[in-house]
Structures are given as structure tokens and as C-alpha cells.
Amino acid sequence: MTGAFDPDEMVARFRVRAEAVRNRALPPVEGSERQRVKDQAQLDFMDFAMLGDAEASLDGGVLVLRVDLRPAEERGAGPDPS
């Protein structure tokens, strides 16, 4: 690792990973294995997307990720009135 750690760059990498999982083609598997692969992809996407939406900071050398899981209307980020 070169240079100083940038938590915002890390969060951006998770956004890229989430999009990669979303766009990933399913491998040629059938039956219950296919469903297992789909379920795992959904979990991977959800995890990467949550971290990709995080507000990251370093607090005394501790990485702090803040993820607001409240619905948009409770966060004050409701629909655009225009």
C-alpha cells in the first residue's frame, strides 16, 4: 500500500464492487446451485452497496463507517419536489 489511507477512496471501491456484482453474469449452473449463486450475489451486492453508501472517517486512527439505514423519508432525503 502506497501513500496515506483514504477512507473515501475505500468507499468508492465498494461502490464499484457493488456495481460489478449487479452486472455479473450468472455462471452456467442449474437447479438449487443456481439459486444459491443468485442468493449469494444478492447478499454480496447488498453488503458492497451498504459500504459504498457509507460516510467514512478516521477517528484517532480508527476507521469509522456511518451507514444510515433509515428509509429516505426519515433521513430527510425524500423525493425531489421539482
The Cα–Cα gap between 7 and 42 comes to 25
Is residue 13 in a domain?
yes
In a domain, 1, yes or no: no
Domain count, the chain: 1
Q: pTM for the full model?
A: 0.75
Establish if 42 belongs to a structural domain. yes
Is residue 49 in some structural domain? yes
Does residue 65 fall inside a structural domain?
A: yes
- The range of the structural domain enclosing residue 12 comes to 7-73
Contact 49, 18 (CB under 8 A): yes
Given this model, what pLDDT does residue 4 score? 87
Q: What is the pLDDT of residues 17-32, one digit of tens each?
A: 999 999 999 889 999 9
Considering the domain boundaries, does residue 2 fall inside one?
Answer: no
| 30 within domain boundaries | yes
DSSP helix/strand/coil, 43 = helix
Domain assignment of residue 80, yes or no: no
Confidence of residue 82 (pLDDT cuts 50, 70, 90): very low
**55, pLDDT greater than 60:** yes
